[in-house]
Amino acid sequence: MLVLAVLLPVAWVQATGHARVRGSVAEAAQTPVDAIVVLGAGLRPDGTPSTYLRRRLAAAAELYAAGAADRVVLSGDGADRADGTPYDEPGSMADWIVGLGVPGDALVLDREGFDTTATCRRAHDEYAVRTAVVVTQDYHLRRALFSCARAGLDATGVGVSATSVTPVQAAWWRVRELPASWRAAAREAW
């Protein structure tokens, strides 16, 4: 019973999200949506997007160029650190994606996207997004799409490479999807 109590919620989240995964940017761009939603993935010490985040932004720029949407929601942590150090993930994302050819007036900066669920809810409630293409790493995509569906978004998604120069960290991120998926299911059950 305990194994079922753990595995069934994870399977529900993963299967629900899997049905919304698109295999490529070209496939995702076939049906226009209200917005492309890019989930944050951290900044480097110099304030530029992490490698994972750069991959997400590159895919979003491709989606924009392909006409998937005329808005790109850049969601992440925009809260300065406790010591006063500035931290603006969406601002850094905006600087980077403009350099990839997406005009600044197409961008929506969500500085309160502290986690996947918050991003999905805010896209729906604050930015009136009803249909979206979500961009994140492939291992995270299914849970992200589940969370967006639960927030009222009719979302599909594109997964980008999760190849890492630190294999232990990459393995940890994949493993953490199990408890994160379970928590996502539990939030819906209670």
Residue 2 domain flag: no
Q: Is residue 7 part of a domain?
A: no
Is residue 11 included in any domain, yes or no? Answer: no
1 located within any domain: no
- What pLDDT, on a 0 to 100 scale, did the predictor assign at position 2? 63
pLDDT in tens, the chain (190 residues): 666 666 666 666 666 788 899 999 999 999 999 999 999 999 999 999 999 999 999 999 999 999 999 999 999 999 999 998 899 999 999 999 999 999 999 999 999 999 999 999 999 999 999 999 999 999 899 999 999 999 999 999 999 998 876 777 667 666 676 666 667 767 775 5
| Any domain includes 9 | no
Residue 122's domain comprises 16-188
CATH number of the domain residue 50 falls in: 3.40.50.620
5 within some domain = no
User: What total number of domains does the chain contain?
Assistant: 1
Output the pTM of the full model.
0.87
Is residue 154 domain-resident? Answer: yes
Buried-state track 92-117, b at ≥16 Cβ within 10 A, e below 16: bbbebbeeeebeeeebbbbbebbebb
Which pLDDT score, from 0 to 100, does residue 4 have?
62
Residue 57 lies in a domain: yes
Tell me, what's the pLDDT at 89? 97
Q: What is the pLDDT of residue 19?
A: 86
